[in-house]
Amino acid sequence: MTIAEKILAKHAGVDSVKPGQYVWCKVDATSGHSLRALELLGVDRVWDPERVFIVDDHQAPPPTIEVANRMRETRRLVKKYGIKHYYEYGRGGILHQVFAERGMYAPGELIAQGDSHSTSGGVFNACVTNANMDAVHILAFGDLWFRVPESVRVVLNGTLPAWCVGKDVILKVASELGTDYGLYKSVEYVGPVAAQMTLAQRWTISNMGVEVGAKFALFEADAKTDAFLKDRVTRPYEHVTADPDAAYEAQYEFDLSTLTPMVARPGDPGNGVPVESVLTEHVKIDQAFLGSCTNARLEDLEVAARIIKGKQIHPDVRMLVSPSSQEVFGQALKAGYLEILADAGALVEHSTCGPCYGGHMGVLGDHEVCISSSNRNFQGRMGSPLAKVWLASPATVAASAIAGEIVDPRQYL
Amino acid sequence: MQTTFTGRVWKFGEAISTDLMVPGSKVLANPGITPEEAAQFCMSANRPGWVDQVQPGDLLVAGTNFGCGSSRNGSQPLKVLGIACVLADSVSRIHLRNAVNTGLPTLVAPGISAFVEEGQRLEVNIVSGQVKNLDTGKTLQAQAWPEDSPPFQILMAGGLDAYMKDKVRKAGLVRA
């Protein structure tokens, strides 16, 4: 069996499962966005208050009275149902980062959360995916139906060149395979580059699993995984690997030794091209965004600070920096990265989903151009339908913020 | 739950994202918005004015990866606008689950975007998966749900809310 088949079989209480089969599985944890729906059903308890997680991330602190009142409602529900894991602004950050920091993911677990980027958790060798409305079923019963997905393998061969990171890898893979190679499937990323990458770089690839349609975007666990989980996860867990005879619907091989920094042109995350190929277009930018659950971890802030140190953000550009969690914010603060960025004229925001989804804290106006370390560049994603969003790695975002136009970060390092 | 739908087709292209159906800057940023108000922004970026043309009972046909992107429920505005059934060459996983839970029949029908032109009429049976183009007389087989599968049962209940009401009551989870 593949990794996904093993994890689903175990949670369904059966010896084996096959792609296409429908199973009811015990779920190890979920997010609490459906508590109000549970209350409306007249149910006064959740199946396990220790395994329900709520963090205010999309619109915190509240920009409007309506949002503030919705947060009051969340606090009431948290008390009523005795939810243990509730993190407001100042103590949380973005769901997928905070969930990990608080030890909620462990290898071999099955977790369904209320945000599309839930595939992020696959970096921990766990089956993590989205449950939106039907998370209420988990809250009531602790289980959910799943269709066992077909599995595909993406083999990342070679050695990743300096200054290329996980973001460049996923933009490259999506540019070649399209944004539906993972549609309704479990994608396993393996090979020498998977092993070479830092946990944070793998995390970007799992995070953008949903951008290639995936139900799960999995990595194998290794010492890097265990190092992050140490002292965060105290329950026992085991690494899950695929059997040698596991059946894959497809296997895709990439040699990444010659990879160069990538950008995705506006409109679709699959529009990736080498940044070198757009230099002659002199794409002027209005905003540079370093943030989101995709690329705002400590090493992302570190590389940006290294590029920007001693320089100034281009006068025609606003740069927004939003660390992926309050924990990362504190680490970057102590390491001096935020000071460097602030001195350069970047606006250092709190940890928020806001700019990435066009919600608040940096919405784009008509015809504005943004280079972003986030995950989506669909029309209207970050604000105006007339705005243009280019996706890139933190290094490319930082270098472009100084230059005022999209540039190759290797010239700035 | 109705299982056969006959209606006029609106066609959309490839990779129609939920950002187009539920624009974050218009809808998410305004939590007090009603479903009826939110529906007025559906497809406003890619097809302004469409919401004023669509009629209850119309069908929506799209290309591959329909509903890609965010987990925002793109089926809700479509249902509010009166779309009776959605067919696409392929559908994103999150969107498909939201559709089932919303009670909006949404079928994966490989080849559908080449099978029908905008304005033609289709007859769709969501149990058998058979799709007939009433203008050309041709038929196409969509992927039907197994009748014993949870998504089919939720859809037949009319959506998640009705399904859950029944299930929590039978489980004795509802206060007297």
pLDDT for residue B175: 74
Contacts of A71 by beta carbon, 8 Å cutoff, 6+ apart: A56, A60, A62, A88
CA A163, CA A166: separation in Å to the nearest integer? 10
B94–A210: do the CB atoms touch at under 8 Å?
yes
Q: Which residue of A has its CA nearest to B103?
A: A133
Topology of B4-145 in CATH? Aconitase; domain 4 (3.20.19)
pLDDT for residue A413: 79
pLDDT for residue A198: 98
| Best of A35, A183, A352, A361 to mutate (most B CBs within 10 Å, chain B) | A183
CA B69, CA B93: separation in Å to the nearest integer? 10
Q: Touching check for B176 and chain A: CB below 8 Å?
A: no
Contacts of A277 by beta carbon, 8 Å cutoff, 6+ apart: none
Which chain A residues are within 8 Å of B48, Cβ to Cβ? none
Q: Touching check for B150 and chain A: CB below 8 Å?
A: yes
Asked whether A125 and A225 are in contact (CB, 8 A), the reply is yes
Q: Touching check for B48 and chain A: CB below 8 Å?
A: no
B25–A43: do the CB atoms touch at under 8 Å?
no
Residue A49 token pair: 């208050």
Contacts of A65 by beta carbon, 8 Å cutoff, 6+ apart: none
pLDDT for residue B176: 64
Average pLDDT over residues B93-104: 97
Q: Touching check for B165 and chain A: CB below 8 Å?
A: yes
Q: How far is B103 from chain A (nearest CA, A)?
A: 12
A180–B29: do the CB atoms touch at under 8 Å?
no
ipTM: 0.93
At B37-92, the pLDDT tens digits run 999 999 999 999 999 999 999 999 999 999 999 999 999 999 999 999 999 999 99
Question: Kindly report the CA angle at A404 between A398 and A405, in degrees rounded to 5?
Answer: 90
B102–A378: do the CB atoms touch at under 8 Å?
no
What is the set of domains in chain A, with CATH numbers? 3-233+246-254 (3.30.499.10), 264-412 (3.30.499.10)
Q: Which residue of B has its CA nearest to A117?
A: B70
At A330-340, the pLDDT tens digits run 999 999 999 99
What's the DSSP call for residue B28? I
Q: Touching check for B98 and chain A: CB below 8 Å?
A: yes
Nearest to A116 among B25, B69, B102 (CB): B69
CA B42, CA B17: separation in Å to the nearest integer? 11
A215–B93: do the CB atoms touch at under 8 Å?
yes
Low-confidence ranges of chain A (pLDDT < 70): none
What is the widest separation between alpha-carbon atoms in chain B? 56
Which chain B residues are within 8 Å of A147, Cβ to Cβ? 149, 151
Which chain A residues are within 8 Å of B98, Cβ to Cβ? 132-133
Three-class DSSP labels, A280-326: HHCCECCEEEECCCCCCCHHHHHHHHHHHCCCCCCCCCEEEECCCEH
CA A349, CA A370: separation in Å to the nearest integer? 17
Q: How far is B98 from chain A (nearest CA, A)?
A: 7
At A188-208, the pLDDT tens digits run 999 999 999 999 999 999 999
Burial A375-411 (b: 16+ CB within 10 A, else e): bbbbbbbbbbbebbbbbbbbbbbbbbbbbbbbbbbbe
What Å distances lie between residue A346 and A312, A319, A384, B94, CA to CA?
A: 9, 5, 22, 35
A379–B71: do the CB atoms touch at under 8 Å?
no
Q: Which residue of A has its CA nearest to B42?
A: A380
pLDDT for residue A111: 98
Nearest to A383 among B25, B93, B96 (CB): B25
Question: Kindly report the CA angle at B94 between B88 and B95, in degrees rounded to 5?
Answer: 40
pLDDT for residue B30: 83
Average pLDDT over residues B29-33: 83
Q: Which among A286, A296, A264 is positioned nearest to A376, based on CA atoms?
A: A264
Residue type at position B152: F
B101–A133: do the CB atoms touch at under 8 Å?
yes
Burial A16-46 (b: 16+ CB within 10 A, else e): ebebebbbebebbbbbbbbbebbbebebeeb
**Residue B24 pLDDT greater than 90, yes or no:** no
Nearest to A44 among B20, B150, B175 (CB): B175
A215–B46: do the CB atoms touch at under 8 Å?
no
Contacts of B111 by beta carbon, 8 Å cutoff, 6+ apart: B89, B140
| Residue keyed to tokens 């977790």 | A111
Q: Touching check for A180 and chain B: CB below 8 Å?
A: yes
Parse chain B into domains and list their residue ranges. 4-145
